[in-house]
Amino acid sequence: MRKPFPFYVSTRAVALACLSLAAGDGIAQTSDGLKEVFVTATARPEERSRIAATTQVIDRAAIERSSAQSVTDLLAENAIGFFSEWTAAQTSINIRGATSDGQGRDFKSQVLVLVNGRRAGTANISKLSTAEVERIEIVRGPASVIYGSQNMGGVINIIMKKGSDAPPNQVSVTGGSWELATLSAQTSGTADKLDWYLGLSGGQRGDYDSGKGGSSMLNTGWERRALSGALGLEINALNRVDLQLRTDGIYNAGFRGSGANTISQDDRSNASFDATYEGRSSDERISWMAQAYAAQDEDEFKWASPVIRSGTAAVPGTRSDYNLRKLDIAGTRLQPRFKLGAGNDLLLGYDYEHSRLRSDRVRVAMPGGPGGQVAPYDNNQTEQVNALYFEDAQKLFNDRVTLRGGARRTWGSTDFDLTPNLALQRGGSQSYEVTTWSTGAVWRAQETLNLRTGISTGFRAPTASELGADFTAVGGGRTFGNPNLKPESNRQIEVGGTWQAPAGQIDMALFQNTIANRIITVSRGASTNTSDYANNTADILVQGLELSADADLAKLLNFDKTPHRLKLFANGYYNFKMQDKGATTLATDFVQRMYKYEASFGMRYARGSGAQPDDWSLQIGALLRGPMWYDTEEALLIPQGEANSSFIHRKGAFTTWNLRGDYRVNKSVKLFARVDNLFDINRSPIFIALDQRPCIADPRFQNGGCGTSMPGRALQVGMLVNF
């Protein structure tokens, strides 16, 4: 009989996860990585080894070695979770069974995205570039009470560069396949008690070619622009103020979607300002952080669907379906911290946030197409949130054991504001109160071995759209809200450990994540094309094993005193149970849009002298994307593409390989070249109908194309100059 989690792990799960550690283009870490300072999980700097949660870091060195054009690209190539990567401008995320909205709306997300420790305003990280990012910290699961709604699958904290830690002056230029051209420049410095940073970046790429057997993917090009500035004031040794202003976006990005559309395009941007004051008493028994912030997230959809599906027939659609969505956020966070006694650290917190969502939509029909204007996808809403929380940590037994625990009480209210063309407008407001908590412990069993365990909970509040919607999708279909919705919730159990040695480290975690009260849409019948929002009474249950590792072979083979450097690194996971107990199909009860297993792995050889930068290096890495189950929105041929219109597809595993070389001309100038998708495979992380012939998509419902694949083999060359 199978033993209950967490004591049972299948032999196949362990074998596959261990094989994923053979090598990695994954998260670059050093052998003392768990001793580095980590801030996201507990909202104060702590050694990662004392945190009762699985944490990961992508540092600046790993970012500079990546070919990523967005934060989505960066996290995907590091096997952080499932990323749908619909287009260059749109993605959804799945970590430990919790997922974000397909359009990247953070207010509908179960994965929380932060910038500098506060809400980013978007879960669509494809609109965020990497040039201005100092590092990214990831906390897997709801292991922190510091954050409120959306913290169910985890937290992704994007920490921006500032003058106190950025290189003085840097310029990077890249060119590559399909007219790729990017430029980034930054300058920073200090003067007396001031430090500053200014960075800008931009780029473009044309339509790409798919892999073997494919062709040019029309409507896949994009443009990017980003600007970031930071100013820091060291008032004295005990007090500091930081200001940051930034804007980032992707424009004229092709949106092929599930119908291989060659017409629709997106403009998506995110801008923010935050001011942070940190201080401490002279005896360091009291410290504090106060942060005020504002963010604006904007999505402009320039869509058109000349042909739409109505039942099994193709009918005239829209010449234009223009949507504009703006989310404005303003908030503040206060976090005093007290050392109450030997080994004790108590953090108290108060958060306040006010957000305002406004949407508009203008539809122009084809001759014979749908007449009249319709409501936008999102109801206009105003939301106010207050929260009180605490998190306490106590060290015991000569600091060998750290106990943690905390709780958060969140009060929120959502007002239903007047929405254009909403025929059945529901007025008024809806309030909610939610308590979440976490507890855990870390034990330093040996000098080289740390063990941890924890239990935690999270939630997501329903939106005005889910409570009172009446919208029509681009391809037809109408959805109504439900004022009786409960917040989504989850509970996670986790055990893990880290083994460290001079030549490397291994981190492992076993987890169980149970997600309840999911807000879903329920059809009123196959012939109505109409749905209602409802809470799913059946849970999602995910049990899995996660592993990350790195090894310094130069130290292991005793030639670390020579100029040779050889490192292996990897990150991966295996979900040995991923069950949707509320699945409405008999085909499978697997959680959809979630990999069964995934791993990034690679090897880096470099030659250098001592502590100086490498003279040259060569890195080969791979990303293994495991099988994924998907009831696709694509219109596929029957039986060529799918057995029937409600068929759950199992997308098989595939691996892409990447190769990168760096050569340092002198102390200031480095040249680099990279080949992505080395073997030119023709696959897609999300779509079933690929750019291949014969095409398995139903040509009656396509809008200019047939099938969509990811980019084929791509070359990049560039130069990085520091001065």
pLDDT digits (tens, 9 = 90+) for 281-294: 999 999 999 999 99
Q: What letter represents residue 234's amino acid? A: E
Angle (CA) 477-478-482 rounded to 5° is 145
Instruction: Show the domain range for 446.
Output: 27-217+235-278+292-722
Residue 223 lies in a domain: no
Residue 93 lies in a domain: yes
Gap between the Cα atoms of 51 and 41, Å rounded: 7
Q: What is the helix (H) or strand (E) element at residue 310, kind and residue range? A: strand 286-310
Contact 103, 93 (CB under 8 A): no
Residue 262 lies in a domain: yes
Residue 185 lies in a domain: yes
Total number of domains constituting the chain: 1
pLDDT of residue 26: 38
Contact 251, 225 (CB under 8 A): yes
Contact 190, 183 (CB under 8 A): no
Contact 160, 230 (CB under 8 A): yes
pLDDT of residue 291: 97
Question: Hey, is 386 helix, strand or coil?
Answer: strand
Q: Locate tokens 């709604």: which residue? A: 149
Q: What does residue 565 show for φ and ψ, rounded to 5 degrees?
A: -135, 130
Task: Pick out the chain residues at pLDDT < 50.
Answer: 1-32
What the block records as the tokens of 181 is 């051209």
Residue 642 lies in a domain: yes
> CB under 8 Å to 138, separation ≥6 — which residues?
40, 55, 56, 57, 58, 75, 80, 154, 155, 156, 157
Contact 147, 138 (CB under 8 A): no
Q: Quickly count: other Cβ atoms within 10 Å of residue 327's Cβ.
A: 23
> CB under 8 Å to 87, separation ≥6 — which residues?
126, 220, 253, 254, 255, 256, 257, 266
Q: What letter represents residue 122's amino acid? A: T
What the block records as the tokens of 346 is 């108590």
Q: Check which CATH number belongs to the domain holding 247 and give it.
A: 2.40.170.20
Q: What does residue 258 show for φ and ψ, rounded to 5 degrees?
A: -75, -10
Residue 486 lies in a domain: yes
Angle (CA) 98-628-689 rounded to 5° is 120
pLDDT of residue 155: 93
What the block records as the tokens of 469 is 């919607």
Question: Hey, is 29 helix, strand or coil?
Answer: coil
Helix %, strand %, coil % of the chain (to 5): 5, 55, 40
> CB under 8 Å to 75, separation ≥6 — which residues?
58, 81, 83, 93, 125, 136, 138, 156
Residue 1 lies in a domain: no
Residue 582 burial (CB < 10 Å; 0-12/13-18/19+)?
middle
Angstrom CA distances, 379 to 289, 302, 423, 557, 660, stand at 35, 19, 12, 62, 46
pLDDT of residue 14: 34
In this prediction the pTM is 0.91
The DSSP bridge partners found for residue 478 are 472, 530
Strands 111-115 and 154-160: parallel
Residue 666 lies in a domain: yes
CA end-to-end distance (rounded Å), the chain: 64
Gap between the Cα atoms of 317 and 144, Å rounded: 46
Gap between the Cα atoms of 698 and 125, Å rounded: 31
> CB under 8 Å to 466, separation ≥6 — which residues?
108, 481, 482, 485, 519, 533
Across the beta sheet with 111-115, the strand order is 55-58, 133-140, 154-160, 111-115, 118-119
Strands 169-176 and 133-140: unpaired
Gap between the Cα atoms of 204 and 225, Å rounded: 9
Q: Locate tokens 């949106």: which residue? A: 255
What the block records as the tokens of 284 is 């360091």
Note the pLDDT tens digit of each residue in 116-134: 999 999 999 999 999 999 9
Length of the chain: 723
Gap between the Cα atoms of 96 and 155, Å rounded: 12
pLDDT of residue 2: 34
Angstrom CA distances, 520 to 482, 486, 487, 538, 649, stand at 11, 12, 12, 11, 20
